[in-house]
Amino acid sequence: MILAVDVGNSNTTVGLFDTAGKLSFLSSLGTDRERTRDQCAIDLLGVFSLYQADSKRISGAILSSVVPPLTATMTEAISMLTGKRPLVVGPGLKTGLNIRSEIHSQLGSDIVAESVAAISKYPSPVLVIDTGTATSMSLICGQVYEGCIIMPGAVLGLEALSERAAELPHIAIAVEGGAPLSLLGRTTEDAMRSGIVYGHASMVDGMIDRVESQIGEPVTIVATGGNAMRYLSHCRHDIVYDRDLVMDGLYLLYQKNTAKRRKSENGTGRPM
């Protein structure tokens, strides 16, 4: 089994792939930059206990992290738990992408992983929208990573409104009871929700239009990330939601970078 861990700014996602390459479970933990190696190992052990998985059956691991203080800590925690030092997505790892960037190391490891998955699962050109603390949009044409757009995320925008405007309250994006969201709010809370949800949807729609106009053809649009479902239904474009895009990309990267080792171990080249 292969362990995949994605450390994001807000959440850390843990996934375990079985011998057939299927996700056995997917878990989300809060990201805490102050966690020690032992605390991270205990968190991972708790996840395995929760999903009744045996950490001793793990044959390899891969880590993506956009939180530098936690990269080494989580690497050590995974090694402690599994006895396997994880591959870390970054310089030196084979991706199969031709990245058009002046400084390749500036491209987030989560964006690399989801781009690798996107080109294996969807028609080109594909535009990948990642909705987390920030909302990123990556364009991939064939095997070429053309570039990225980074914008404030929906939740971050809502928090900024509440923090910087003294009379605006701290609220949740979702309407209580699941009631429909009105475009024109009759209360301050509803007006804020409308601005964040419909405003973010309009921003995403507008950027998609600009991307398609620049390349002169329509794109396949794929969204992932924890905040995508908050506003995707309000977008005008057809957008596919793929919850496991980053995890699938990490699994593909692991397979790509351990193929020779697996071949020498079993003499056949087939995944073990």
Active site residues: 110
Cα separation of 162 and 239, whole Å?
29
Q: Which of 13, 97, 11, 3 is nearest to 57 (CA)?
A: 3
Amino acid letter, 46: G
Half-sphere exposure of 226 (CA within 13 A, CB side): 19
48 by Cβ neighbours in 10 Å (0-12 / 13-18 / 19+) ranks as: buried
Cα separation of 63 and 22, whole Å?
18
Q: Are 203 and 237 spatial neighbours (Cβ–Cβ below 8 Å)? A: no
**Residue 115 neighbours by CB under 8 Å, 6+ apart:** 97, 128, 138, 140, 145, 249
Cα separation of 181 and 169, whole Å?
18
Q: Which two tokens stand for residue 245?
A: 């895009």
